Structure formats: structure tokens, C-alpha cells
């Protein structure tokens, strides 16, 4: 079986990614934290009021942050520049033809650009980081 990489409107894949994010990643955070992660990638379009699939009225209270592993420098693979600061995961991706795509094997992370010191887009190797759930400021 091959993962669907494109559908006519791209909504199926986007909704599927968000649903799995909620069921697999969000559900793995201990329930005493009442975790509601920020949406994955673009979030789902299946609920007009929310980017979430389950519990569309829930408010995000955690985000996934990429933290350097073993004092590694984190490098944006597209620009070759070192990136620092709070690196919030947007989505996982791969590199094809010197650009990023939302497709397996998902060995890179697309970072949400939150300040001008981070290249836009910012793609990092997931082997240089560990992922942590941090409360949203």
C-alpha cells in the first residue's frame, strides 16, 4: 500500500494527517496534562470551526518543540544556515529535488517560522533533535 501523496483538493491528506496527529501524538501525552496540541501542518478542514478533527472546540495548550540533541548544531538543510531559538514543529517532510515535500520517509522537520532569525522555510534533520511537548506561552 502506498501513502496518498495528492488528492484532487489535497483536503483528504491534510485531514488524515491532523486526525493521526491527534490520535497518535496527542494521545501519547499523559492525560493529566489535558493535552491539546497545536494543529499539525495546515490542520484539518473537516470542521468549519476548528483545525481539529476530534473535539473541535478544544483549545491548544501544548506545542511540539525541537530541542538540539547532545549539543548538536541545528542546520536548515535548504540554506545551510545554523538555526537557534524555539523551534516549533510545523510538520514532518522529506527532501526531493532540493526542496521539501510532505511525503515519506519523513526524515526532516518543517519548522514554524516565528521570528526573522529563522529562514523561511526552515527544514531540519530530525536526527539532530529530540521532540518535547511544551506548554504554549
- Band of the pLDDT at 11, cuts 50, 70, 90? confident
SS (H, E, C) 81-107: CEECCCEEEEEEEEEECCEEECCCCCC
Q: How many CB atoms lie within 10 A of CB 10?
A: 14
**Per-residue pLDDT tens digits for 49-104:** 899 999 999 999 999 999 999 888 999 999 999 999 999 999 999 999 999 998 89
pLDDT exceeding 70 applies to what percent of the chain?
94
Q: Does residue 22 surpass a pLDDT of 80?
A: yes
- Count how many Cα atoms sit within 13 Å of the Cα of residue 59 in the half-sphere of its side chain: 3
Q: Which of 91, 92, 104 is nearest to 51 (CA)?
A: 91
> 116: which residues sit within 8 A by CB, 6+ positions away?
none
Q: What is the pLDDT of residue 12?
A: 85
Whether residue 19 has pLDDT greater than 80: yes
Amino acid at each position: 500500500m502506498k501513502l496518498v501523496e495528492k488528492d484532487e483538493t489535497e483536503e483528504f491528506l491534510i485531514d488524515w494527517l491532523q486526525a493521526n496527529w491527534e490520535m497518535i501524538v496527542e494521545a501519547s501525552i499523559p492525560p493529566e496534562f489535558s493535552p491539546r496540541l497545536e494543529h499539525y501542518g495546515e490542520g484539518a478542514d473537516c470542521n468549519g470551526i476548528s483545525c481539529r478533527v476530534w473535539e473541535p472546540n478544544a483549545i491548544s495548550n501544548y506545542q511540539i518543540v525541537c530541542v538540539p540533541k547532545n549539543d548538536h548544531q541545528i542546520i536548515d538543510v535548504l540554506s545551510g544556515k545554523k538555526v537557534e531559538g524555539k523551534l516549533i514543529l510545523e510538520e514532518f517532510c522529506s527532501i526531493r529535488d532540493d526542496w521539501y515535500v510532505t511525503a515519506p520517509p519523513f526524515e526532516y522537520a518543517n519548522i514554524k517560522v516565528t521570528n526573522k532569525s529563522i529562514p523561511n522555510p526552515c527544514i531540519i534533520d530530525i536526527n539532530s533533535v529530540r521532540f518535547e511537548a511544551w506548554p504554549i506561552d
